Structure 1
């Protein structure tokens, strides 16, 4: 991955320094000059370079996206930067005894102790105060199709003949409370962060928005990058059974979001009904093999469904990309988002076992009285190119929210 972008106006000029390293696949090929794929690749990258004006904050209201741009924004918000369901308790997993009144809870504590040992041990994990990771992703999405249609979904324009869109990302984190994430893909840039008091998101086409409810970590961190937070997240989970994942017999830990947290994330126009997380831990190695979560949202009848953007960009994009039957304002519409991430390629860095690759599949399902049922499938394949811990000079100033941040007081 390159951290410099070649100057496409003058070959003898200095290269452009990029904040997010871009995968080699995003650069035009140096072979063949103006041969096959040469001019189009050059022009596409030149247009991306010209689009760097998205770093400038303007007072004008963002324009509505349509077509391929809307598809890219949907991928970036739903797949690129979702948050986990709830705040993470501070090192609860490292303090509690495995002896609990409930056999399911005590079994879960024992499974977490095996996980902590497999990831490097308590001393190594608690020694981490900050980290960064650089990686690349490939995303694709299907078109909306009828909920009762069992046939395969038709790839959308972003799928590019099943190849998908390629991008790069960088994640900075100082303990779980402070984090900052940037993702660049196909000329679009999306950033998200948390300063310990609120989490926010900003994209190339929208004003910055703060997430409702208490600040929560990025879901991507729990996909093998932050074992300390993963252990703390499942500290209050219960063991509900076993399942084979990729040939490995795994214990299943289940965690439900607290009703008070769900209420704080709701608003006058929508309710968060539930948010559940499942973790699959290998019985043989203790590693986290898969993480799933399911999120159910109800849009209240007759309360202006399009204002759903106050909750998150992702659900605003959903309503923008699929028409809603507005003739029946007395019926509630439900959106169910299910995410399944397979985590693999564990490698040790400074004594800590980090996952360096994986795959996430997201299924969106809309249903309700007066609404045509729709399903959509999105997919992401990611890999970590570089990671390190305990960075010198990384302070809270690096995690400040953008100046145009809009805080909803609904």
Structure 2
């Protein structure tokens, strides 16, 4: 599982005495198994030995999660509910109507990140007990309307990449290789973190108004989206069942801007003859420093994401083992209508295109 927070299916890394066991695990189950090994230390000892596994978990969860909801076809804009009113206010405040008319076809953004494991406040067991130092790095993101994107991130010598060719999303890491994600093409969650107002408006265009809440001292309208059962089923993989996934946006009543983004996914692992185990991944992102860029469109230039990765069920020593991690980011540059950027730049790696999961995803989309 990978965070999309959403956690996408990963192929188990080959080799070692676990080869036979890995073949018996499905992609999502294999990903969770590997995360459990990394979080438990994998037999390593000492701060230096912990650094690489910690960084792998941080990059797996925070570097390039997907939105749980795809970009929806553009609908006639009319205000018929409080949720639609909130989105229209967001469009007006960010100026993204200037992008809606098709004048902007592509986008480029670059920035800096700092990733770190956090100490669990309760001092409980599990991965949350490691404070650790932060890992600094940078990322670049390219997008081509409406659904092609590519992101690359390099942190402390480790590089990961993810992308979408408009039909299938994929991810590549040095330790797991490249693979296609289940569920077809979806936006990068990072774009929803105040970076792409058009995508944010599209994603929340069918959301429900779920009340009001104060976030960091700001009164906000709450918009909620829950992924339907049929979509959750398409994400499930053999013994791994995605039970629920929801996305919540908090829009400032004062400014109309997206102030906070939260999503949570619960996955159940049930192998034959083994008690079920549950994984819950939650990511909360706070956005700030909205500034106008090309054409006067307001984009968030800074923010922080905090992720909680929880395991519970029979066989877990503690009632609930929680790992907490954080990413802070700063946007250095944003530009629209990048010269020469076309569909060829978003072709997935050959390893992805040759995979059965990619072929199945293409067939399902026809």
TM range (shorter): 0.7 to 0.9
Aligned residues of 2:99 and 2:198 also touching (Cα < 8 A) = no
Aligned to 1:118: 93
Aligned to 1:322: none
**Is it true that 1:344 corresponds to 2:288 in the alignment?**
yes
Mark the CA change 1:236 to 1:151 in structure 2 (over 3 Å): closer, same or farther: same
1:149, distance to aligned residue in structure 2 (A): 3.3
Asked whether the equivalents of residues 222 and 230 of structure 1 are also in contact (C-alpha less than 8 Å), the reply is yes
Structure 2 partner of 1:250: 220
Q: Could you tell me whether the CA contact under 8 Å between 1:146 and 1:375 is conserved in 2?
A: no
- Measure the CA separation in 2 of the matches of 1:376 and 1:88: 31
User: Which residue of the partner structure matches residue 84 of structure 1?
Assistant: 67
Does the 8 Å contact 2:126/2:321 carry over to 1? no
Which of 273, 281, 299 aligns to 2:251? It is: 281
Q: Residue in 2 aligned with 1:174?
A: 144
Which residue does the alignment assign to 1:139?
A: 115
Q: Which runs of 5+ in 2 are unaligned?
A: 1-12, 17-33, 43-49, 362-366
The residue correspondences of 1:93-132 to structure 2 (distance < 5 A) are 95-99=76-80, 106-126=81-101, 127-132=103-108
Bigger radius of gyration among the two: 1
Partner Cα separation in structure 2 for residue 130 and residue 116 of structure 1: 18
Query: What's 2:5 paired with?
Result: none
Whether 1:154 and 2:154 are equivalent positions in the alignment is no
1:226 aligns with 2:209: no
1:256-295 C-alpha deviation (Å, 9 max, x unpaired): 1122211111111211111101100011110000000011
Instruction: Indicate if the aligned counterparts of 1:125 and 1:352 stay in contact, CA closer than 8 A.
Output: no
1:295 matches 2:265: yes
Structure-2 residue corresponding to 1:70: 53
Deviation at 1:135, TM superposition (A): 0.2
Cα offset, 1:150, TM superposition: 9.5
Q: List aligned pairs for 1:255-270, cutoff 5 A.
A: 255-270=225-240
Which has the larger displacement, 67-76 or 186-195? Answer: 67-76
1:374 aligns with 2:321: yes
Question: For 1:404, what is the secondary structure of its paired residue?
Answer: helix
**Structure-1 separation of matches of 2:99 and 2:15:** 45
Q: Which runs of 5+ in 1 are unaligned?
A: 1-59, 100-105, 303-328
Name whichever of 260-269 and 400-409 sits farther off: 400-409
1:298-337 equivalences in 2 (<5 Å): 298-302=268-272, 329-337=273-281
Task: Quote the Cα distance in structure 2 between the aligned partners of 1:291 and 1:61.
Answer: 36
Partners in 1 of 2:247 and 2:212 — Cα distance? 15
1:392 equivalenced with 2:339 (yes/no)? yes
Q: SS of 1:89's equivalent?
A: coil
Q: Deviations over 1:227-248 (max 9, x none)?
A: 0010010111111111112222
Give the aligned CA root-mean-square deviation in angstroms. Answer: 2.5
- Tell me, what secondary structure is at the counterpart of 1:225? coil
| SS of equivalent residue, structure 2 residue 67 | coil
Which of 198, 211, 219 aligns to 1:241? It is: 211
**Alpha-carbon deviations, 1:144-180, whole Å to 9, x = none?**
x799939994335xx32xxx00000000000141000
- Equivalent pairs, count: 311
Q: Distance in 2 between matches of 1:152 and 1:250?
A: 33
The more displaced of 283-292 and 146-155 is 146-155
Residues 125 and 227, structure 1, Cα contact 8 Å, conserved in 2: no
Aligned to 2:350, the other structure's residue is in SS state coil
State the 1:88 CA deviation. 1.4
Q: Report if the CA contact (8 A) 2:89-2:256 is conserved.
A: yes
Q: 1:86 touches 1:261 (CA, 8 Å); kept in 2? A: no
Contact 1:254–1:277, Cα closer than 8 Å, also in 2 = yes
**Cα distance in 2, alignment partners of residues 69 and 265 from structure 1:** 29
**In structure 1, C-alpha distance between the alignment counterparts of 2:128 and 2:323, rounded to whole Å:** 8
Q: Structure 1 residues 85 and 121 mapped into 2: Cα distance closer, same or farther (>3 Å)?
A: closer
Alpha carbons of 1:117 and 1:61: their partners in 2 closer, same or farther (altered >3 Å)? Answer: same
Cα distance in structure 2, aligned partners of 1:345 and 1:151: 35
